[in-house]
Amino acid sequence: MKTQQSYLNNSYIKEMGATVLAIKPEGQNRYRLLLDSTVFYPMGGGQPTDQGKLTHENWTGDVYQVMIKDGEVWHYANETVIPEVNWLVRGAINWERRYQNMRRHSAGHLVDFALYQLGYSPKLLMPFKGDHGKKPFIMYRGTTDEDIKQKLEDKTNELVGRSLKFTTEFQPFEKLQQEAIYLQPGLPNNKPLRTLRLETVGAVADGGTQVGSTKEVGEVKITAIEKKEGNTVIYYQIG
Ligand SMILES: [Zn+2]
């Protein structure tokens, strides 16, 4: 990958300077740009895309979508003037949108950590996937006959109340394997992987943006728990 992704080390960087490495047309007045570094999060891992602006002198591109395509991070922008390779651009993400996404994403992990602390995950309920967009949920393989909604919400908010730190670190697969409370299938074992830790609770593999403390997540509501074809779907909301 040609782009250095700064959010992997620090989710709070909002602006950047970068060099344009490549440009491709994307229909009328739309282009996608490849940059040597970026603060923009490309949609993935259940987290929505960042949006924002790229500027160069009098040129401003509205970045409406960022995604990984053919192994590279592409910034999709609207602008009538065609940008040029080697331009130095300034970039700024729509921080309000990103911060909301970070809080929602961290909230999903927090509910997951709470479920682990209650003893349901990862054995009885095996973490499977999540989505942290407008109707956020986390999904598990397996079900339980118990009604866990209230105690899961209480445990999650207890972790919020304790203002525990979220931190990230890249480490070899073997180290992550020793430390993680579970590993999702399909992780590459030949490169350093990013570990997300919740202070005093545990660690998982994760590539998304995160808030620094459970306090920033704020109160979490478990809105519904549904059982579907042997799976459990936990819907949640943040304030
Ligand atoms: Zn995640």
All residues at 6 or more sequence positions from 229 whose CB lies less than 8 Å from its CB, including other chains: none
How many A from CA of 152 to the centre of ligand 1?
19
Asked if residue 108 and residue 206 are part of one domain, the reply reads yes
pLDDT above 90 coverage of the chain, percent: 95
**3-state DSSP assignment of residue 195:** strand
Domain limits at 145?
Answer: 98-238
How many A from CA of 59 to the centre of ligand 1?
35
* Rounded mean pLDDT, 39-57: 96
Asked if residue 75 and residue 16 are part of one domain, the reply reads yes
* CATH code for the domain of 71: 2.40.30.130
pLDDT score for 179: 96
Asked if residue 89 and residue 105 are part of one domain, the reply reads no
Reported as a pLDDT band with limits 50, 70 and 90, residue 48 is: very high
Residue finishing a domain among 65, 93, 121:
93
Q: Give the count of domains, the chain.
A: 2
Asked if residue 141 and residue 73 are part of one domain, the reply reads no
Give 179-200 pLDDT, tens digit per residue: 999 998 888 888 889 999 999 9
Reading the block at residue 163, the tokens are 């203002």
Asked if residue 147 and residue 230 are part of one domain, the reply reads yes
pLDDT score for 186: 84
* CATH code for the domain of 134: 3.30.980.10
pLDDT score for 15: 98
Positive or negative torsion for Cα 136, 138, 139, 142 = negative
How many A from CA of 86 to the centre of ligand 1?
34
Q: What angle do CA 196, 199, 203 make, to 5 degrees?
A: 35
Residue 234's nearest CA partner among 97, 91, 128, 87 is 128
Give 123-132 pLDDT, tens digit per residue: 999 999 999 9
Asked if residue 113 and residue 44 are part of one domain, the reply reads no
Residue finishing a domain among 93, 112, 132:
93
Distance CA 89, CA 18 (A): 5
Distance CA 119, CA 124 (A): 8
Given a cut of 90, whether residue 45 has pLDDT beyond it is no
How many A from CA of 207 to the centre of ligand 1?
6
pLDDT score for 226: 98
Asked if residue 64 and residue 176 are part of one domain, the reply reads no
How many A from CA of 129 to the centre of ligand 1?
9
Given a cut of 90, whether residue 231 has pLDDT beyond it is yes
pLDDT score for 239: 92
Give 100-110 pLDDT, tens digit per residue: 999 999 999 99
Task: Indicate the pTM of the whole model.
Answer: 0.95
Asked if residue 126 and residue 229 are part of one domain, the reply reads yes
Given a cut of 90, whether residue 140 has pLDDT beyond it is yes
CA distances for 190 relative to 172, 186, 187, 193, angstroms: 8, 12, 9, 9
Distance CA 55, CA 58 (A): 7
All residues at 6 or more sequence positions from 163 whose CB lies less than 8 Å from its CB, including other chains: 213, 214, 215
